[in-house]
Amino acid sequence: MTLINVWQNILNGLAVGSVYAIFAVGYTLIFSILRIINFAHGAVFTVSAYFTYLLTGSAINTNGTLHKLFTDGFGAPALPIKLPFVIALLVGGLLAGLVGMLLDRIAFRPLRQRGADPLLTLVSSLGVAVAMVNLIQYFFGAEIYSYPANPFGNIPAAVNFGTADTPVPVRTIQVIIFFVAIVIVIFLTWLINSTKLGKALRAVSEDAVTASLLGINTDRIIMFTFFLSAFLGGISGTLVGVSVGVAGPYFGITYGLKGLAVIVLGGLGDIPGAIIGGIVLGLAEAFVPPQFVAFKEAVAFLILFLVLVIRPQGILGRAAVVKV
Amino acid sequence: MKRPVIVLVALSLFIAAALSACGGAPAPTASSVQQAAPTVAAAVQQAAPTVAAVAPTVAAAAKAAAAPTTAAAPTAVAASGAAPKALSGDPIKIGVAVAQTSNTALLGQEQVIGAQIAEEFFNQRGGINGRPIKLVLQDTAGDEAGAINAFQQLINNDKVVGIIGPTLSQQAFAADPIADKAGVPVIGPSNTAKGIPQIGDYVSRVSAPVAVVAPNAVKAAIKDNPGVKNVAVAYAQNDAFSKSETGTFQQTVTDTLKLNLATVQTFQTTDTDFTTQVTNILNAKPDLVIISGLAADGGNLVKQLRELGYKGPIVGGNGLNTANIFPVCKDKCDGIYIAQAYSPELSTPMNDAFKAAFKAKQQGKDPGQFPAQVFAGVQVFVEALTALDKAGKLQTTDLAKLRSDLNKQALSGKYDTPLGPISFTPEGEVNQEQYYVAQIKMNSDGQTGKFVYVK
């Protein structure tokens, strides 16, 4: 393997890993507060991509129920608004945030209030995920949708990190996703460590009962966490949709397992850990030899297994202190 | 405070959307309703191992239909604007088992449209000598277990005379043996992997095998680009069909055309990021890339190849033979060579009629191969049943015999379908007279495009 190949593989790994990372941040946020995995995150990821699609005024195909609804209501199979892509991206994220809050109300809070086993919450979130995916298919159909061409203006399709003679190209959208991932982590680290809200978040995460005794509205904090997780997941979902197309109702779900691997790898509930975990997984996949490339997931999960054996708390996680 | 208000708004929005959707949704077809209410009796019947013994519905149906034979119904359906004929008698049930959910629904939903068009079309033309046909849809989802369930439902509960399905070759290998054992004729509408008709006597297909269709696209690409020496091949290794197809492609490259196979890259149909594969392909410096996969993965691979700098010709397999790849690779789809078993540009009365029916239902879109092949499958059953009826063999109370007669009749006939004229080998392999190679031509909007027939 030449040096140029190594460089290309590193960049490829960073590009792929940052997608895993921005997905896993959503898991991590919920996990850090509630100690549960929100399996519906993949569905939120997907639904936001569809929201953005709608907000850009794009048409729904005949296989989706919305096609008929919109045609009857607005005279065309699309919403009568046409937001610029970046605005649609943000509004789509906000709508996804609302879906996240709704999710808490429907699937998590009732169980939480009854002190249900975390495993039940897990199953409940899985149920909501399946229902959401099927609702998406019902409303939008199973087809692949894509955003209007050049959503970010006329930027080149790839950025060359090599020379003109030996190009080391990386797709521009992947560079964007990488930086968005970094911005999200910096923002969350600031929010959690340097704001009053962050203090409340940490308090609830430490001990919800004590926090509520101290006057923190824990339900509201948890709902905010769901909003934030879904909002960031929403932005990420749309960006991934720009990268690979909104490939049907299942497209977010496929990141679910990888996302789980990433947060375990990085350290459960650790936000910088989600980024580190994502990038480690991405790099591991990028360096899989060409003849085994279809088995890159197996390689990635083998690494996960090894990390767990050597360092059960993950790369950045702290060893759990047994509470007596 | 704000919180309850926001939640209330969100909730009401959701409920409003759900309710209006229920109101505005197209009424579910009779068949889907029917499958929603399995009776205990049906369940008991399903448990009984011999299917042949229990056939009350069809028996009754056959008796009821013994009387009416309206005017001599056409066997070869000419595509004139015939007025709808009055139909009477209990409908003859034909099963359609395709993927209506899962990520294979992308293909399955096109097949459902093909089936619905066929049902309306043939019933409008008098059904089976005046007796209507009814397609019973069962969802196979995207996996083998789903296909097996759907087949068992159709065979034991719905008591269909024959089945069209499943969507994927992978599923056919699992589900077809069940139908074969039960003596129910199966027509594969989109199973093009090697070995499908060989599953059993009752298994045939209208979808020509990849070994016959695929090489045409490579030859067309080489004809346009005579300088090609190095070829890179990529395929989805978790898909039986893509694996079978890439074998054909690789053989064409090395054995038939004597070119250098520079690299073989593999991926999964669920992959969306192909950075690693594209890097490997670019390192091999190919003059031609051949891809076997499905729409979302194949389209993304094409897109990422082009974005990262590949400029040579691309040949796509049958999985890319759908307009569904346009939104994935957009303007980057331009120029892909694809061999086809169906072309909307074929001008025969039958294809013109099919195209018109499809366009009316799909807002002027041209039909692709998937709906056309399902339509052809229904046509084979309808014309075979019509022939059986003429020979007096439809008025039987013995469902097992009817199924077996139908199988024999279907395999012996000649059919003028939207795919062009087809017939079957005794084994059940389709003999298709005409194949097509198309090149994708994207419109300037970068979102829509069409398959342009390469002469």
Q: A134 contacts in B (CB within 8 Å)?
A: 101
Q: What are the residues whose beta carbons fall under 8 Å from the beta carbon of A8, sequence distance 6 or more?
A: A162, A168, B279
* B250 part of contact set with chain A, CB < 8 Å: no
Percent share of chain B, pLDDT over 70: 81
Q: What are the residues whose beta carbons fall under 8 Å from the beta carbon of B91, sequence distance 6 or more?
A: B61, B127, B131, B132, B133, B134
**Pairs of CB atoms within 8 A across A/B:** 147
Chain A segment 34-53 residues within 8 A of B by beta carbon are none
* B358 part of contact set with chain A, CB < 8 Å: no
Average pLDDT over residues B363-388: 93
pLDDT of B400 higher than 90:
yes
Cis bond before residue B74 (omega within 30° of 0): no
Does the reported pTM lie above 0.95? no
Q: Tell me if B437 sits within 8 A of B217, measured CB to CB.
A: yes
Average pLDDT over residues B231-254: 92
CA atoms B357, B362, B363, B364: torsion sign: negative
| pLDDT for position B85 | 62
- CA A156 to chain B, closest CA, distance in angstroms equals 9
Out of A8, A137, A138, name the one closest to residue B279 (CB).
A8
Average pLDDT over residues B396-409: 93
Average pLDDT over residues A128-139: 92
Residues B306, A157: C-beta atoms closer than 8 Å = yes
Q: B300 contacts in A (CB within 8 Å)?
A: 244-245, 247
SS3 call for B292: strand
pLDDT in tens, B37-89: 333 333 333 333 333 333 344 444 443 444 343 334 444 444 444 456 678 88
| pLDDT for position B56 | 40
How are the residues of chain B apportioned to helix, strand and coil, as percentages rounded to the nearest 5? Answer: 45, 15, 35
Chain A segment 121-180 residues within 8 A of B by beta carbon are 134, 137-139, 141-146, 148-149, 157-158, 167, 169-171, 174
Q: Which of the four pLDDT bands, split at 50, 70 and 90, describes residue A318?
A: low
Residues A248, B105: C-beta atoms closer than 8 Å = yes
Out of B102, B103, B328, name the one closest to residue A245 (CB).
B328
Q: What are the residues whose beta carbons fall under 8 Å from the beta carbon of B242, sequence distance 6 or more?
A: B235, B236, B269, B292, B293, B294, B317, B319
Q: Which of the four pLDDT bands, split at 50, 70 and 90, describes residue B364?
A: confident
Out of B238, B270, B324, name the one closest to residue A144 (CB).
B324
In order of A49, A249, B11, the CA distances from B15 in angstroms are 21, 20, 6
Q: What is the mean pLDDT of chain B?
A: 83
Average pLDDT over residues B243-249: 92
- CA A63 to chain B, closest CA, distance in angstroms equals 8
Residues A290, B265: C-beta atoms closer than 8 Å = yes
β-pair partners for B232: B263, B289
* More confident position, B98 or A81: B98
Q: Which stretches within B323-363 are classed as H helix?
A: 326-329, 349-361
pLDDT of B185 higher than 90:
yes
Distance CA A76, CA A79 (A): 8
Q: B331 contacts in A (CB within 8 Å)?
A: 149
Average pLDDT over residues B437-448: 90
- Tell the residue number behind the tokens 């190209």, with chain if given: A169
Distance CA A194, CA B386 (A): 79
Residues B102, A169: C-beta atoms closer than 8 Å = no
In order of A321, B150, B168, B247, B274, the CA distances from B241 in angstroms are 52, 21, 7, 10, 20
Q: Show the tokens assigned to B411.
A: 């395999």
Q: Tell me if B237 sits within 8 A of B243, measured CB to CB.
A: yes
* ipTM, interface predicted TM-score of the complex: 0.83
Residues A250, B102: C-beta atoms closer than 8 Å = yes
- CA A215 to chain B, closest CA, distance in angstroms equals 16
Q: How crowded is the C-beta side of B431, counted as CA atoms within 13 Å?
A: 10
Average pLDDT over residues A2-15: 89
Average pLDDT over residues A60-83: 88
* B311 part of contact set with chain A, CB < 8 Å: no
pLDDT in tens, A182-224: 999 899 989 999 999 999 998 998 888 899 898 899 999 999 9
| pLDDT for position B8 | 44
Q: Which of the four pLDDT bands, split at 50, 70 and 90, describes residue A320?
A: low
Out of A62, A247, A286, name the one closest to residue B272 (CB).
A247
Average pLDDT over residues A11-35: 89
Question: Which residue of chain A has the CA closest to B270?
Answer: A254
pLDDT in tens, B255-300: 999 999 999 999 998 888 898 899 999 999 999 999 999 888 999 9
Question: Which residue of chain A has the CA closest to B332?
Answer: A157
Of the candidates B213, B214, B207, which has an alpha carbon nearest to the alpha carbon of residue B186?
B207
Average pLDDT over residues A78-88: 91
* More confident position, B224 or B14: B224
Distance CA B395, CA A30 (A): 65
